[in-house]
Amino acid sequence: MGFLNPLFLLAGIAVLVPVILHLFYRQESKTFTFPAIRYLLRTEKDHARQIRTQQLLLLLVRVATVLLLVVLGARVHIPGPGGSHDPTALALVIDNSLSATIIEDGRRRLDTLKAVARMSVEAASYDDVIWVVRAGSPWEVAVPVGLTQAALAIEETGASHGRGDLSHAIARARALVAQSDLPRREVHVFTDLQATAFSEPAGGDADIPVIVFAAPSGELENRGIDRVSIGGGLPPLQGRRAEAAVSISGGSAGDTVGVRLYVGDQVRAAARAPSGTTVRLPMGPFPSGRVDGHAEIDPDPLTGDDRHFFSFMVRDPTPVAAVGPTPFFLAEALAVLAESERISLGGVGRAATLISLGGEGLQGRTSSQSALVVPPADPARLPALNRRLAEAGVPYRYQAGPGEGARIAQSDLPVDLEGLDIRGFYRVVPAEPADNPTGTAGTTDGGGGTSRVVAGDDGSLVTLSTGDPWLVAGTAPTGPYILLASPVDEQSTTLPTSAAMIPLLEWVIERRFGDATGVSGVTAGTSFRPSPIASAVRAPDGTVQPVDGDQPFLQTEVAGIYQVLAGDSVVEAVPVNPPAAEGDLAPASRGEVGRTVPGVRDIVDDASAWSRHIFRAGRGPEPWRPLLAIILALLVLETVVAASRALRTRRPGA
């Protein structure tokens, strides 16, 4: 218990007034002459006892009234939430991720979270410093603001289709308030308590209290589109029909949902399919050029994952050239693709994809030509192959070793490689600096600096059961490349005689560099790097943001097609889709939240009780209403007792 006006307690000296009056009070005695003196003496003693009792009661009531008036004037308060508080560094973490866009009872869950966040601002004071952290927009910079700016930031918080990583957001919020020199620090979190948002332990100072508001939610079943695959991962050929495979997740057993395929604004195909399955829809034919579209299912309360966007370039038959002695099975596979007009065989000068046998032709190719490097069957020719790779700036080399008896363990390709036997293979290892005259320790961009590897940091697209890479991809100063670890013959692998031979070869030829169809695109909330010649990016809502071609584009919070512009021309289209994890609406338990976020003080699910849980180190409420009621009751009691005494003393014959 504390007092806001402690000096007012000096007024408690006034309690001496009723005490002094009581001590100096004298009852005037009256003398009466009666025959029965003994009876009168007994009556007088009883009457005196009643008077003393009334006087003592009056003294206690008056002393209590004065003391309560002093306490009321000193503004007594009870420590705890609900009242004024010391200056506080406050971080408000708002979960504006995709799961918060669920509509329940005609209202978005995000609107409920924002309403409770405003209650925190209303309970704050002008001495507080506030940060607003949006969990679904991690690229946004949080700056310290006052009450008015904080309320405006909450009002302007929009829904993001990205993932709400609350563990990271809480750690970030704790770091922000920890840098403040204010005496108190708190973090308020407003979330739907989605379990996937607490996947990792939250860092930061566990002594900084975290109070969580969990929006109440019912049992909801969600359906969504996991992925869309066009043409098995290859862009369709001009003038030919293709197929879109739409994978549907969620729902309950026996549940069916309508599926529609849009190209532009027109429906090109529709079907009805059970939830949890993949439905294949025909599309095309298309003329040469870029095709944008999306697949959608019937809407449910979480509509953000009911659409999946795609963009791809319709291709002409790819010019291909083979340099070096071509193995029989590889030559036959190329002939089959050429006869079906999926590729066109020709000279090296016009080839878009170069099939390099033993590394031949790598050094003279242009940076726009991709290369498939096939090693020779004779290990004695490996030094010549490694020399050609080094001259072309490829940061890998082939190494002979006990490469026998392996199987495919992991594959990132849209081609079914299951069941392939790898009887012989070389080890593809990073090149030493002495073996790489260009000085590239990793894949490099066209300027000779370090660049990205297509499939992760190690560049491995297919990994064997021994842990060795079997298909490695990247880009070098001389262009994109794919390295195969096995010769294409039946002594080294069963690939030449398997059904995967032609699809794998076609995928390698058409893949070039990056995602051939643009279907996978970018996950909402993550960045992508525009073309170096880009000047701006047009978002799905039509807003245009200038970009620097050397910097990643961060603002991908809304799903849709992002157009990369060079002046007025569209040079690239990037489909952005929600993360699959946001479609899992399973809530986290209180125990899981407590284990993930050390320092959680309360998890509140009642908005009306929120103000009683925040600012826990505050001064608490002032109980002036009950004190005033007690004072009034004492005054009434004092009046009744005093009036009763006066009547008794005036009663005739007393």
Mean pLDDT within 374-378: 92
* Angle CA 97–116–224, to nearest 5: 25
Q: Which CATH number fits the domain that encloses residue 460?
A: 3.40.50
Same domain for 395 and 330?
Answer: yes
pLDDT at 441 (0 to 100): 40
Which of 488, 511, 534 is where one domain is finished? Answer: 511
Query: Does residue 447 register a pLDDT over 50?
Result: no
Strand-pair category, 536-538 with 560-566: antiparallel
Query: Does residue 181 register a pLDDT over 50?
Result: yes
Same domain for 341 and 420?
Answer: yes
Strand-pair category, 406-411 with 421-422: antiparallel
Q: 178 or 106: whose pLDDT is higher?
A: 178
Q: 516 or 308: whose pLDDT is higher?
A: 308
Of all residues in the chain, what percent carry a pLDDT higher than 70?
82
pLDDT at 651 (0 to 100): 53
Same domain for 400 and 369?
Answer: yes
Cα 173 from Cα 182, distance rounded (Å): 15
pLDDT at 458 (0 to 100): 45
Cα 267 from Cα 283, distance rounded (Å): 10
Same domain for 460 and 578?
Answer: no
Same domain for 495 and 466?
Answer: yes
* Angle CA 583–586–589, to nearest 5: 145
Whether 233 is covered by a domain: the verdict is: no
Residue 478 pLDDT grade (very low, low, confident, very high; cuts 50, 70, 90): confident
Same domain for 499 and 395?
Answer: yes
Is the whole model's pTM more than 0.95, yes or no? no
Same domain for 59 and 186?
Answer: no
Which of 454, 479, 511 is where one domain is finished? Answer: 511
Cα 170 from Cα 153, distance rounded (Å): 18
pLDDT for 208-236, tens place per residue? 999 999 987 766 788 999 889 888 777 78
Domain count, the chain: 4
Query: Does residue 191 register a pLDDT over 90?
Result: yes
Whether 280 is covered by a domain: the verdict is: no
User: Cα separations (Å) of 516 from 87, 123, 572?
Assistant: 56, 54, 13
Same domain for 549 and 629?
Answer: no
State which residues form the domain around 352.
318-511
Whether 332 is covered by a domain: the verdict is: yes
pLDDT at 29 (0 to 100): 53
Cα 384 from Cα 486, distance rounded (Å): 16
587 DSSP β-pair partners: 194
Same domain for 95 and 70?
Answer: no
Cα 626 from Cα 628, distance rounded (Å): 5
Are 472 and 389 contacting, i.e. CB atoms less than 8 angstroms apart? no
Mean pLDDT within 490-507: 89
Range in 83-87, 110-114, 251-255 the model is least confident about:
83-87
Residue 461 pLDDT grade (very low, low, confident, very high; cuts 50, 70, 90): confident
pLDDT for 41-90, tens place per residue? 566 666 667 777 777 887 787 788 888 787 777 666 566 555 567 889 99
Whether 254 is covered by a domain: the verdict is: no
pLDDT at 654 (0 to 100): 43
Whether 264 is covered by a domain: the verdict is: no
Question: Cβ–Cβ contacts within 10 Å for residue 379, how many?
Answer: 14
Q: Which CATH number fits the domain that encloses residue 169?
A: 3.40.50.410
Which of 564, 584, 604 is where one domain is finished? Answer: 584
pLDDT at 574 (0 to 100): 92
Whether 269 is covered by a domain: the verdict is: no
Nearest alpha carbon to residue 220 among 588, 603, 583, 592: 583
- With 0-12 / 13-18 / 19 or more C-beta atoms within 10 angstroms meaning exposed / middle / buried, residue 605 is middle
Residue 537 pLDDT grade (very low, low, confident, very high; cuts 50, 70, 90): very high
Range in 297-306, 575-584, 636-645 the model is least confident about:
636-645
Whether 251 is covered by a domain: the verdict is: no
Cα 569 from Cα 313, distance rounded (Å): 16
Sorted by sequence, the CB contacts under 8 Å of residue 29 that are 6+ apart come out as: none
Same domain for 105 and 129?
Answer: yes
Whether 22 is covered by a domain: the verdict is: yes
Identify the top-confidence range among 160-174, 363-377, 627-641. Answer: 160-174
Mean pLDDT within 537-557: 88
* Angle CA 14–62–5, to nearest 5: 45
SS3 (DSSP) at 239 = coil
Mean pLDDT within 3-25: 64
Same domain for 541 and 417?
Answer: no
Mean pLDDT within 287-293: 89
Mean pLDDT within 361-384: 88
Same domain for 336 and 388?
Answer: yes
As a whole number, the mean pLDDT across the chain is 82
186 DSSP β-pair partners: 90
Range in 41-45, 59-63, 271-275, 623-627 the model is least confident about:
41-45
